[in-house]
Amino acid sequence: MIKNDSSLRTRVAIIGGGPSGLLLSQLLERAGVETVVLERKSREYVLSRIRAGVLESGMVELLREAGAGQRMDREGLVHEGIYLARANRGFRIDFRRHTGNSVMVYGQTELTRDLYQARDAMDANIVHEVEQVEIHAAQSPNPYVSFRHDGRECRLESDFVVGCDGFHGISRKTIDSSVLREFERVYPFGWLGLLSQTPPVSEELIYASHERGFALCSMRNPQLSRYYLQVPLEDSVEKWSDEAFWDELKRRIPAEAAETLVTGASIEKSIAPLRSFVAEPMRWGRLFLCGDAAHIVPPTGAKGLNLAASDVFYLSQALLRHYHDNDDSGLDDYSATALARVWKAERFSWSMTRLLHRFPEQSEFDLRMQQAEIDYLETSVAAQASLAENYVGLPY
Ligand code: FAD
Ligand code: PHB
């Protein structure tokens, strides 16, 4: 709801009410900087999207700092390792041993719900179901956003505009094409995900490489499991009955796990394409990009949501320095600082994807290289430490 008339003023206009936009709004407002969030969809819709499940410790800390971590601390599952499996063999990567650190399994849906609650408690200004959002005068000291809401033409004036509107949003597209550079790799397969009210097959995630394709066993809580299968891009969800999904999953994970797998009706089933993408720069005048608006990773490294959090961390700190200390150095460095971390997570996600999936054009040589790399990981402490360091998250 728009509180006053159809013309508004705020300090930071945030486009997108997903995890990046909500977290940024929460961190800024707790430090006394006013924001308005514009979201294209309804709250119910945003909360119906089943997406990420693994949080790095940096993101866990940031959610606590934002005052939105209580339920996560009660209900989230601390994981100190993952299993990598190939055909019938599996081995564990021990995060605690190699990094002294861990990750938290807690669904993006729950985290977003917690952020909405935290924002509600502070009487946040979040406008849902906005249409025709456009950013204007981003290169001037007085940028503004125009949009339609409830049939009215509205204008939001601000000091800064932050695009947290995901990969398909309008913010990135506002940056002049002579400045914007985009780097992309599209993978020749997708992930079919299934959520079911069943106990997880394993206490820790299993990443399985198999000749029929990759499979992942994940979870949301002790009664809710999330599984994924690599599928051809042409496949549709309708092609995959629950029974076909479970049969295929059992073929791709080690027999010991397949025998104890509890199956059940799917609550949700969807196919996501896999993509690596980076847009540079992440700042254009007074417009800043955070999260999926600027970059996408294939989900194999569990990095997408976590990268959104590190962007929000850098940008919130920079904006607070601007408002509290009259210091713009953080804003000037934002794009370079965020991108340095983004590219490392891109590399990790790309290497995990390349390691564990079957590619249509793969030669016998390529297959042997994959097998040798997995063998190396199984036997080398240095290789395991490197995977663990990246998986738990590089420092902010
Ligand atoms: P989004 O979540 O996309 O939010 C953007 C918001 O902006 C949306 O609510 C959208 O409605 C709104 N919007 C769009 N356009 C406009 C507009 N014009 N005006 C106003 N609002 C607009 N990441 C991990 O870290 N770990 C994982 O385990 C993981 N697993 C994943 C599994 C799957 C199957 C998928 C698909 C993704 C996964 N990710 C994972 C990635 C993660 O979900 C995203 O990186 C994360 O959602 C990014 O958050 P965001 O707020 O930047 O963007
Ligand atoms: C998930 O639980 O949705 C999940 C976990 C790990 C990944 C990707 C997705 O790498």
Would you give per-residue pLDDT tens digits along the chain (396 residues)? 455 558 899 999 999 999 999 999 999 999 999 999 999 999 999 999 888 999 999 999 999 999 999 999 999 999 999 999 998 889 999 999 999 999 999 999 999 999 999 999 999 999 999 999 999 999 999 999 999 999 999 999 999 999 999 999 999 999 999 999 999 999 999 999 999 999 999 999 999 999 999 999 999 999 999 999 999 999 999 999 999 999 999 999 999 999 999 999 999 999 999 999 999 999 999 999 999 999 999 999 999 999 999 999 999 999 999 999 999 999 999 999 999 999 999 999 999 999 999 999 999 999 999 999 999 999 999 999 999 999 999 999
Residues in the chain: 396
Q: How many angstroms does the Cα of residue 10 sit away from the middle of ligand 2?
A: 36
Ligand 1, atom 19: nearest CA belongs to which residue?
A: 40
Ligand 2, atom 6: nearest CA belongs to which residue?
A: 302
Q: Do 24 and 162 contact (CB within 8 A), yes or no?
A: yes
Nearest to 128 by CA among 292, 308, 26, 2: 2
DSSP H helix total and E strand total for the chain:
13, 21
Q: Counting atoms of ligand 2 from 1, which one is nearest the CA of 52? A: 3
In this structure, the number of other CB atoms found within 10 A of the CB of residue 90 comes to 18
Residue 302 CB less than 6 A away from ligand 2: yes
Report the distance separating Cα 52 and Cα 74, nearest Å. 19
In this structure, the number of other CB atoms found within 10 A of the CB of residue 272 comes to 13
Q: Counting atoms of ligand 1 from 1, which one is nearest the CA of 193? A: 34
pTM of the full structure: 0.96
Catalytic residues: 79, 207, 299, 303, 391
Tell me the ligand closest to 15's alpha carbon: 1
Report the distance separating Cα 331 and Cα 159, nearest Å. 13
Q: Are strands 181-196 and 206-209 parallel, antiparallel or unpaired?
A: unpaired
Q: Counting atoms of ligand 2 from 1, which one is nearest the CA of 352? A: 10
Q: Do 90 and 204 contact (CB within 8 A), yes or no?
A: no
Nearest to 377 by CA among 165, 184, 98: 98
